[in-house]
């Protein structure tokens, strides 16, 4: 018995030494972030600041308790999508007490709060880092000794999303889970791109309208962000040659002349910015009813796609989270139904909830009028 105990003690000490050695070899860690910056992180982060609250979604796909990592976060997800926030608080009540450091914009950061939190890492979104105010925030954080890692799930999402998830996995020592999610993403994307490559005939023309309003028309997505998911299906964005990459306002005359085959609206829950309500916490009935109200706009109502019932909608904030692969699958199913009848984003979401999500995602994230 004594010999057995000595052997177990020796084995425990041996494994502890290996663990320390591996940790010393891993840290400090220097990585290239989502916008090409070299960032050195001294040790495994234990007190993280989120420049955008939406990046909690990314952490929740690779960590069983993402809230335990937080020293502070911005309130943009809580304000824009309160149902997701409620679900996270129900699972992790400590989130309600995490200090708010800003409103999701560089201008809204509270430097006084940040200084008091003693963070060891800040994670910011690419769209924040691209602004003058965001650059100032990065400079300030790094001047106080807090490394800033920028993630990008919006610009070139199909390439950047799996890459950035793998990077977060390294930083948080959650490589196995992060790599599994990235593999899931790439496998599901490949199903779409391989099939389109084998069937190069063009798909329908599409208008993707951000936050539709029955009293005005229209802000069209360009070829960037969610607009990229139109192109991968072989379909044609009517704004691809006439607007900046991120999109912009199109006139009624332009829409009437383009007369798209398919209309897709994007919005958020509760009709905060639009008559259309879709996303976390929204029922399919509410999403379908409000989408129908949106296309009563006289200009939209007379488009060929609307007349034929090819009207769809989805959660706008897919452009800020790594769940955007679900948007790609919804687009494929809607735009090329004859080619992608077996693509089912509902099933993919169920798999994500089962395999990856610390907090299951509930609600109607995409909807069709018919």
Q: Distance between CA 55 and CA 62 in Å, rounded?
A: 12
| pLDDT tens column, 296-313 | 999 999 999 999 999 999
Same domain, 302 and 361: yes
- Give yes or no for a contact between 220 and 315, defined as CB atoms under 8 angstroms apart: no
| pLDDT tens column, 252-289 | 999 999 999 999 999 999 877 899 999 999 999 999 99
Same domain, 234 and 146: no
Same domain, 191 and 322: yes
- Give yes or no for a contact between 146 and 119, defined as CB atoms under 8 angstroms apart: yes
Q: Distance between CA 70 and CA 119 in Å, rounded?
A: 9
Q: Which two tokens stand for residue 357?
A: 């999500």
**Tell me, what's the pLDDT at 60?**
98
Same domain, 94 and 242: no
Coil, helix or strand for 31?
Answer: strand
Domain final residue, candidates 152, 171, 194: 152
Per the structure, how many domains does the chain have?
2
How would residue 16 be classed by pLDDT, with cut points 50, 70 and 90? Answer: very low
Coil, helix or strand for 92?
Answer: coil
- Give yes or no for a contact between 368 and 262, defined as CB atoms under 8 angstroms apart: no
Q: Distance between CA 95 and CA 73 in Å, rounded?
A: 10
Q: Distance between CA 223 and CA 236 in Å, rounded?
A: 10
Q: Which two tokens stand for residue 193?
A: 């791109």
Look at residue 163 and tell me if it is in a domain.
no
User: Using a CB cutoff of 8 Å and minimum separation of 24, what contacts does 3-7 make?
Assistant: none
| pLDDT tens column, 174-232 | 999 999 999 999 999 999 999 999 999 999 999 999 999 888 889 999 999 999 999 99
Mean local confidence (pLDDT), 28-45: 97
Q: What share of the chain is helix, strand, coil (3-state, %, to 5)?
A: 50, 15, 35
Domain final residue, candidates 152, 177, 198: 152
**Tell me, what's the pLDDT at 21?**
42
| pLDDT tens column, 314-343 | 999 999 999 999 999 999 999 999 999 999
**Tell me, what's the pLDDT at 134?**
85
Same domain, 292 and 359: yes
| pLDDT tens column, 285-298 | 999 999 999 999 99
**How high is the mean pLDDT of the chain?**
91
**Tell me, what's the pLDDT at 244?**
87
| pLDDT tens column, 103-144 | 876 556 677 788 889 999 999 999 999 888 888 889 999 999
Q: Which domain holds residue 133?
A: 20-152
**DSSP label at 104?**
S
């Amino acid at each position: 018995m004594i010999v057995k105990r000595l052997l177990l003690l020796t084995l425990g000490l041996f494994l502890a030494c290996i663990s320390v050695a591996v940790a010393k070899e891993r840290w400090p860690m220097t990585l290239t972030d989502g916008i090409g910056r070299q960032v050195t992180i001294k040790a495994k982060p234990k007190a993280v600041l989120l420049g955008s609250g939406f990046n909690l979604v990314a952490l929740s796909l690779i960590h069983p308790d993402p809230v335990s990592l937080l020293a502070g976060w911005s309130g943009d997800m809580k304000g824009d999508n309160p149902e997701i926030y409620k679900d996270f608080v129900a699972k992790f009540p400590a989130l309600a007490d995490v200090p708010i450091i800003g409103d999701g914009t560089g201008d809204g950061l509270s430097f006084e709060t940040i200084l008091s939190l003693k963070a060891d890492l800040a994670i910011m979104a690419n769209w924040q880092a691209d602004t003058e105010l965001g650059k100032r925030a990065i400079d300030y954080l790094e001047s106080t000794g807090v490394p800033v890692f920028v993630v990008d799930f919006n610009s070139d999402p199909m390439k950047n999303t799996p890459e950035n998830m793998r990077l977060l996995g390294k930083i948080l020592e959650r490589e196995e889970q992060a790599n599994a999610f990235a593999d899931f993403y790439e496998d599901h994307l490949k199903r779409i791109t391989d099939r389109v490559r084998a069937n190069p005939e063009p798909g329908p023309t599409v208008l993707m309208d951000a936050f539709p309003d029955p009293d005005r028309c229209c802000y069209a997505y360009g070829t960037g962000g969610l607009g990229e998911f139109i192109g991968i299906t072989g379909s044609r964005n009517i704004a691809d040659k006439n607007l900046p990459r991120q999109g912009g306002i199109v006139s009624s005359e332009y829409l009437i002349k383009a007369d798209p085959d398919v209309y897709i609206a994007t919005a958020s829950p509760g009709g905060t910015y639009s008559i259309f309500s879709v996303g976390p916490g929204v029922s399919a009935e509410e999403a379908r009813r409000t989408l129908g109200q949106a296309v009563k706009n006289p200009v939209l109502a007379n488009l060929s796609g609307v007349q034929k019932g090819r009207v769809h909608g989805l959660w706008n904030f897919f452009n800020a989270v790594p769940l955007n692969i679900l948007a790609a699958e919804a687009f494929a199913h809607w735009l090329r139904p004859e080619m992608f009848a077996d693509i089912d984003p509902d099933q993919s979401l169920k798999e994500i909830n089962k395999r990856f999500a610390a907090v299951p995602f509930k609600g109607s994230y995409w909807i069709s009028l018919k």
